[in-house]
Amino acid sequence: MRADRPPPRWGLFTLYVVSGAVLVFLIVPILIIIPMSFGSALSLEFPPRSLSLQWYVKYFTTPAWLRATGISFQVALGTTILATALGTLAAFGLVRGRFVGRDLLLALILSPLIIPGIVIAVAIYLVFARVHLVGSPLGLVLAHTVLALPLVVVNVAATLKGFDEAVERAAMSLGAGPIRTFRYVTFPLIRPGVIAGALFAFMASFDEVIVAIFLSGRTATTLPKRMWDSVLLETDPTIAAISTMLIVLAMLVLVLPTLGRGGSRG
């Protein structure tokens, strides 16, 4: 660090100030919602003059919010299972295989990361509307899996890339069949990637709003869809309480894989 011949002091100072300001810009709008959600006034205020749990109470006692949350959990769980299964298998094939069309398949799987959600939502809506999959949790699971699949593939592929295949050959040469090798050697080694991929898939579905706007119909309103409907009309402070819970969920999901990884490393 010392030998780096530091740039002039004012240069370094500017760098710190600008970077700090950018970090504040990124994090403060999210954190500011948290105290506001505990306000006791009838509208959101910062700082809140006195604290109360009224908006949390309202959320937990409004059947429509609870129903939407239930559907979101159901859809996110279904998406997680389907995307993790399909994505883990695909990641193996794509990282280890060298076959014709591999790059094309990879591009296809990853393309939902780049293609606008609105295009995917409209396309799936036009098809699902004809086969009665609008307004059903199943339709949402299928559509969300398209969006979640690349996240699983990217995460599992990342652990597979640093994987020493010699340990698998060792297990096999000691008499373990392919299934036992996968169960006791391969899977434990790629588990962090699978867990991270599954968590990403869960969050991608649980927070997803554009596909839900099209596919929720009247019978499968997800939490983000209901938040969207509410935010379009007014700034309902209940949204601040829900937002706070979603922010805490995001923090948990960010920290969980790190704990898992630390554990498996021993």
Partner 1 sequence: MKAALGWPALVAPAMLFLLVVFVVPIVMVLALSFSGPQIGLQHYARIATTPVYVRVFGNTLQIALGVTLASLVLAYPLAYLLSTLGARTSIILLGLVILPWFTSLLVRSFAWMVLLGQNGVINRGLLSLGIIDKPLPLLYSAFGVYVGMVHILLPYMVLALYSVMRGIDRDLLRAAQSAGAPPWRAFLHVYLPLSLPGVAAGSLLVFVMATGFYVTPALLGGPRQTMIAQLITSEINEAVNWEFGAALATVLLLVTLLGLTAFNRLLGMDRLLTRDA
Question: What is the footprint of partner 1 within residues 117-146 (CB under 8 A)?
Answer: 117-120, 122-127, 142-143, 145-146
Query: How many Å apart are CA 261 and CA 263, to the nearest integer?
Result: 5
Closest Cα to residue 84, out of 183, 202, 256? 202
217 binds partner 1 (CB under 8 A): no
Number of residues located near partner 1, criterion CB under 8 A: 93
Out of 73, 250, 260, 261, the only residue in the binding site for partner 1 (CB under 8 A) is 250
Query: How many Å apart are CA 213 and CA 227, to the nearest integer?
Result: 11
Percent of the chain that is helix, strand, coil (3-state, to 5): 75, 0, 20
36 binds partner 1 (CB under 8 A): yes
In whole angstroms, the minimum distance from the beta carbon of 33 to partner 1 comes to 5
Query: Could you say which residues in the range 187-216 bind partner 1, by CB under 8 A?
Result: 203, 207, 209-210, 213-214
In whole angstroms, the minimum distance from the beta carbon of 240 to partner 1 comes to 7
In whole angstroms, the minimum distance from the beta carbon of 24 to partner 1 comes to 9
In whole angstroms, the minimum distance from the beta carbon of 220 to partner 1 comes to 16
What token pair was written down for 179? Answer: 């299934």
Out of 2, 3, 9, 175, the only residue in the binding site for partner 1 (CB under 8 A) is 3
Q: Which residues contact 140 (CB under 8 A, 6 or more apart)?
A: 71, 75, 79, 205, 211, 212, 215, 216, 220, 222
Out of 13, 19, 51, 184, the only residue in the binding site for partner 1 (CB under 8 A) is 19
180 binds partner 1 (CB under 8 A): no
What token pair was written down for 7? Answer: 């740039």
Interaction pattern, residues 37-56, with partner 1; x per rule: CB under 8 A: ------xx-x----------
Query: How many Å apart are CA 109 and CA 95, to the nearest integer?
Result: 13
Cα-based angle 164, 170, 174 (whole degrees, multiple of 5): 160
In whole angstroms, the minimum distance from the beta carbon of 25 to partner 1 comes to 7
CB atoms within 10 A of CB 202: 23
**Among the candidate windows 49-57, 63-71, 73-81, 248-256, which touches partner 1 by CB under 8 A?**
248-256
